[in-house]
Amino acid sequence: MAVLYLPWPLDTGRGVRENIFLPGSNVVYDFHGDPCQAELVITMEGNQFMVIPALLEAFYDYLGRRVSVFYITLPPPRLRPLVEGRPLAIGNLVVSVKPQVVMGPPEFMKGLYKEGLIEKPRTFMRNRGVVLVVKRGNPREISGPEDLLRPDIRVAISNPETEVNSYRTYLSALEHLPGLREKIEREALKSRVIHHREIPAMIHQDLADVAPLYYHFALYYRNPEFFEEPLFDYLEFEEGRRIRSEYQVALMQGGACHEVAAAFRDFLFTETARRIYERYGFEL
């Protein structure tokens, strides 16, 4: 199995001298902050990760003070154990923190609500659809979804078992082309656990030529705030623009008494939060 790696930027720990980050062994990207000191713990679907550092800075201003925040950006099924009060392992490290705030797609949140794990969820943001991400310079000269049917084009997509929501969304943006769904189901290279990390690495390492991904991912990969040089190019298409996925937030059951958690939930519905999300490719 190929080791998939990209030079992802670190968004925390830059002010800590003792950093044992070592790609290939001691590396953790989707667990952010200090779980031992956190006053606020948030679990969220992974594809919002690029927004959170700027969002938290604005939240501190909204709250009137800085707080220690530990947040986890994983596919919803992967963060579920923590919501249920069970531990989650990352290699040899075991995390047992329980979140006060949960953010995820409607279907996932609906299930948690029915089980009595969270309070009633509310939609606070939507994304801006699906695009096709290709290697920088577009060496395979892909011009649109129809080119994915070419026999020489290798498609990558999220895993239909571990990331059901994104897989269904990406397929829905492409199923207007006869035969493409069948090719993807039959031949596409699929991620294993976390597609927002694995899929771009597949393209970067020439294991795949193109992948349907959310627009905000494509924007992130080209954002000089995170990468000195763009890693990829992307192509927009009409059917992809029509796809709009919702993002919801809820407090853990009984969490209304947690002042900071309630403040963060309320902050997500402010104009300030909306503008920050828009900067990174989302929309209300």
Residues 220 and 144 grouped into a single domain: yes
Residues 163 and 252 grouped into a single domain: no
Residues 62 and 75 grouped into a single domain: yes
Which residue has tokens 């199995």? 1
Residues 135 and 209 grouped into a single domain: yes
Structure tokens at 230: 């763009």
SS3 204: helix
Residues 50 and 135 grouped into a single domain: no
The whole-number pLDDT of residue 13 equals 54
The whole-number pLDDT of residue 179 equals 96
pLDDT digits (tens, 9 = 90+) for 50-95: 999 999 999 999 999 999 999 999 999 999 999 999 999 988 999 9
**Assigned domain for 63 exists:** yes
In the chain, the number of structural domains is 2
**Assigned domain for 118 exists:** yes
At 182, which helix (H) or strand (E)? Answer: helix 180-187
Q: List the chain residues with pLDDT less than 70.
A: 1-3, 12-15
Residues 176 and 89 grouped into a single domain: no
Q: Which residues contact 44 (CB under 8 A, 6 or more apart)?
A: 52, 71, 72, 73, 79, 102, 103, 104
AA letter at 217: F
**Assigned domain for 7 exists:** no
Residues 110 and 148 grouped into a single domain: no
* Neighbour count for residue 111 (Cβ, 10 Å): 14
Residues 96 and 155 grouped into a single domain: no
The whole-number pLDDT of residue 67 equals 96
Residues 77 and 154 grouped into a single domain: no
Residues 229 and 274 grouped into a single domain: no
Domain that holds residue 50: 31-126+246-283
Q: How many CA atoms lie within 13 A of 53 on its CB side?
A: 14
Residues 148 and 228 grouped into a single domain: yes
**Assigned domain for 11 exists:** no
CATH number of the domain within which 259 lies: 3.40.190.10
Residues 166 and 230 grouped into a single domain: yes
CA distance 7 to 208: 18
Long-range Cβ contacts of 161-166 (<8 Å, 24+ apart): 162/75, 162/77, 162/78, 162/191, 162/192, 162/193, 163/75, 163/77, 163/191, 163/195, 164/77, 165/76, 165/105, 165/107, 165/108, 165/245, 166/47, 166/75, 166/195, 166/214
